[in-house]
A and B are shown apart, each in its own frame.
Chain A
Amino acid sequence: MPPISRGFRRRQRDLPEGARLPPGQHLVDDFPVLSAGPTPHVPLDTWDLAVYVAVGESRRWDWDAFRALPAETVTVDIHCVTSWSKLGTVWEGVPVDTLLADADPFGAFVSVECDGGYTTNLPLEDVTNGKAWVAFAYDGAPLEPEHGGPARLLVPHLYFWKSAKWVRRIVVTEDDELGFWETLGYHRRGDPWREQRYSGD
């Protein structure tokens, strides 16, 4: 039994009708920023996004080509491993399914590489079938650099460090190659509903 904190009581407001929070999370209204280093600023005319689906098979879009892809507007709840959650966030982005259309991926995982050197790893099935986007707008406006602009991965069903900011490369891999935080003790998959915060959880 955990010790009772004498006099401690819930001060969090009630959740909106129908909303749910994963275990150990609390609601915020603002949008905290977490990043391990300085925010990169890449001019759009040198930006590109590449997807490597197999050896010798890659696709590449410059900014204009990327923005010409069909995009979706999604409203999702997001959950940070530092225990904040934000409900009903509105994003616009290109489904990862679109980026992988008609591909025959070489492996069952992806390694995501970003400006600034950040990386993260995900099972391919966590970024396909309508579960992930490369987002370029938040709340109706272009994504700000400190929130990952010009474009970030959006994988709302996993802890938010998986939604890698400043994404540039999505590489299909045979093995689950641990990324930045995953190498530093955070969970390989990061499912908030199973509270997979740290390796071993």
Chain B
Amino acid sequence: MSSAIPATDGRRAAWRVAAVREVVHETPAAVTLVLDVPGWPGHRAGQHVDVRLTAEDGYQAQRSYSIASAPEEPRVALTVERLDDGEVSPYLAEEVRPGDEFELRGPIGGWFTWSARQGGPLLLVAGGSGLVPLMAMLRHRRLARSEAATRLLVSASSPGELLYAGELEAVEAEPGIEVVRTFTRRAPDGWTGFARRVDRAMLEAVAWPPDAAPHVFVCGPSGFVETVAGHLVALRHDPDHVRTERFGATGG
């Protein structure tokens, strides 16, 4: 807990106007919004932002979203998963078009972050849209030309719901990196990989041994994170090396 850098340097973090440059449909339920944010102070891989929407009648709503882009990229990208009973995520995932503007504040969070300077090994475990901040780390790894030994275990309900599926194929072609997918509801025809929820045996097969003292980042729905972090501790990973970020069903 010593890598403490105040997220806002003690100054009030300003709300900035973000302009949507591009909308990328990642899966049926998730879009990536690529944003121009004048005055953006930069971020570290794994951090998030607060987004604030203002309705015509002045009503405002704000939510937190993970940053998907690497610090090295010129624009800030957020990947937003639509929650059907949500207030903000359906708007961001369905209504927003290039040219639209909304407010954004951040970056926020100084704990769930990885920098190439920290090196490896790096173990990333993602459930569903928990992949978003971990993708920022993978993109940072690539753009910083890091060769940190890295393993990503990602759980998705089906191939069609796996975020960044094409990019992950490119990621696993990079040196020093392994990508392991597991599909919990429907796997592709002929699939020989994992097809179940992440469990202890799967983590034992994929994770670095505890002696390797990997930097571990686990992100996903609360139950997923609880299970994965619990197994990792049971497998004798140092709890101090296991950093978690959870989102609830009503984050939206």
Q: Are B229 and A84 closer than 8 Å at their CB atoms?
A: no
Closest to A32 in B: B248
At the interface, is chain A mostly helix, strand, loop or mixed? Answer: loop
Q: Are A185 and B109 closer than 8 Å at their CB atoms?
A: yes
Interface with B: A21-29, A48-56, A57-65, which one? A21-29
Find chain B residues with CB under 8 A from A200 CB: 8-13
Interface with A: B22-30, B47-55, B127-135, B167-175, which one? B47-55
Q: Are A12 and B61 closer than 8 Å at their CB atoms?
A: yes
Number of interface residues of A (CB under 8 A): 43
Distance of A80 from chain B, by nearest CB (Å): 9
Give the size category of B's interface with A.
35 or more
Distance of A120 from chain B, by nearest CB (Å): 12
Closest to B218 in A: A38
Q: Are A2 and B248 closer than 8 Å at their CB atoms?
A: no
From A83, A186, A197, contact of B63 by CB (8 A): A83
Interface presence of A194 (CB below 8 A): no
Q: Are A183 and B87 closer than 8 Å at their CB atoms?
A: no
Closest to A82 in B: B64
In the assembled complex, the Cα of A36 lies from the Cα of B226 at a distance in Å of: 11
Distance of B139 from chain A, by nearest CB (Å): 22
Q: Are A29 and B110 closer than 8 Å at their CB atoms?
A: no
In the assembled complex, the Cα of A26 lies from the Cα of B236 at a distance in Å of: 39
In the assembled complex, the Cα of A7 lies from the Cα of B10 at a distance in Å of: 35
From A12, A32, A197, contact of B246 by CB (8 A): A32
Q: Are B229 and A38 closer than 8 Å at their CB atoms?
A: yes
Interface presence of A46 (CB below 8 A): no
Interface presence of B111 (CB below 8 A): yes
Find chain A residues with CB under 8 A from B189 CB: none
- A11-B87, A146-B226, A184-B111 in contact; A5/B250 too (CB < 8 A)? no
Distance of B180 from chain A, by nearest CB (Å): 21
From B87, B108, B249, contact of A26 by CB (8 A): B87
Closest to B15 in A: A2
Interface presence of A47 (CB below 8 A): no
- A28-B250, A33-B222, A198-B108 in contact; A4/B54 too (CB < 8 A)? yes
Q: Are B1 and A2 closer than 8 Å at their CB atoms?
A: no
Q: Which of B's residues lie within 8 Å of A, judged by CB?
A: 1, 4-13, 15, 17, 50, 52-57, 59-64, 86-87, 90-91, 95-96, 100-103, 108-112, 222, 225-226, 229-230, 232-233, 239-240, 242-244, 246-251
Q: Which of A's residues lie within 8 Å of B, judged by CB?
A: 2-12, 24, 26, 28-40, 82-84, 116-117, 146, 180-181, 183-186, 197-201
